[in-house]
Amino acid sequence: MAVYVIKRIVVSIMTLLLIMCITFLLMNAIPGSPFLTEKSTPEMIERANAKYGLDKPLYVQLFNYVKNYARGDLGTSLKMQEGTSVSTILFGQGKFELSIKLGVISLLLAVIVGIPLGCIAAYNRGKWIDGFLRVMTTVGVAVPTFVLAGLLLIGFAVNLHWLPTKSNSLPDFKSYVMPVISLSFYYTCYVAKLTRTSMLDAINQDYIRTARAKGVKTRMLILKHALRNSLIPVITYLGPVMAGIITGSFVVESTFSIPGLGKYFVQSVLNRDYPVIMATTVILSALVIFMNLVVDIAYKIVDPRITLTGKED
């Protein structure tokens, strides 16, 4: 186990380095200089390039990034807030925490609501509640995040005035409701669908019949015997969910005017603020890679039959 985790961490760091290389190459593939504006003279661009080390050869620049990142230094912004350190831009005023808070709450909601819904549907297979949940989840996975966010906004904020149109920095419970629902609804539905399918699979297995024959109560049967075995596909799905929730939060943040991380990524790309692009990409990639690692370890806990050291496929 420990060997496996260490191996995975090494691979993760290598993946992260590779992502840095790709991001760096892509950034530099944009023609022209980030300092190019209508007013700028060639001398001004040259001076700015020299100031931020953009005149050095590309491999030196890349090496500097890696070296500074290893020391925890994310560099300074070139354009958005010139001269400010990137970590202030991203982590200052709790922006990072906002995004993470939103993401984690949505992820938890998707799991806490999605799995029971799937169980209920599977247990009541063919009854009206199964039909209802089926329609709900099928429609749910067809509604893009921004559509749902917009619909909620129209319904609950514009027409009914129950909830605020702008969530800002999520000061109270009310401001959480719409962003969290719109961010997690798709994943809740997907998790419910997955749970239902794998639960039905599990319910038809021999050991469930045996347990039932031995007189295990239905509730225990579902919770202990069937659920545990049907969780594997759900856990597999949670890795991509993390990636999806992070990128989905860009949309939710812009819809509900939440000053989170997402806005800065899009802005930094549009502004060609290299250090900010690099920092957001690396942070978000690291999160996703970390989640994948957690998912792989969670496998082992849920299903002891899975050997982590064995070859995949």
137 in contact with another protein (CB under 8 A):
no
φ, ψ for residue 43 (rounded to 5)?
-65, -40
141 in contact with another protein (CB under 8 A):
yes
d(CA 106, CA 109): 5
Span from 25-33, 43-51, 81-89, 105-113 in contact with another protein (CB under 8 A): 25-33
d(CA 183, CA 252): 7
Residue 57: exposure state from Cβ atoms within 10 A (0-12, 13-18, ≥19): exposed
Question: Distance of alpha carbon 242 from its chain centroid, rounded?
Answer: 3
Report the nearest approach of another protein to the CB of residue 224 (Å). 23
Which residues partner with 85 through β-bridges? 76
277 in contact with another protein (CB under 8 A):
yes
Span from 52-60, 102-110, 141-149, 207-215 in contact with another protein (CB under 8 A): 141-149
> What is the residue type of 71?
R
Applying the rule CB under 8 A, the residues between 182 and 241 that interact with another protein are 197, 200-201
58 in contact with another protein (CB under 8 A):
no
φ, ψ for residue 114 (rounded to 5)?
-65, -45
**Nearest one of 264, 269, 245, 96 to 179, comparing CA atoms:** 245
# residues contacting another protein (CB under 8 A): 51
138 in contact with another protein (CB under 8 A):
yes
Of the residues 104, 151, 220, 223, which one makes contact with another protein according to CB under 8 A: 151
Assign residue 259 a region: left if phi > 0, alpha if psi is -120 to 50, beta otherwise? beta
Interface ranges with another protein (CB under 8 A): 15, 18-19, 22-23, 26-27, 29-32, 138-139, 141-147, 150-151, 153-154, 158-159, 165, 197, 200-201, 243, 246-247, 250-251, 254-255, 265-266, 269-270, 272, 277, 280-281, 284-285, 288-289, 292, 313
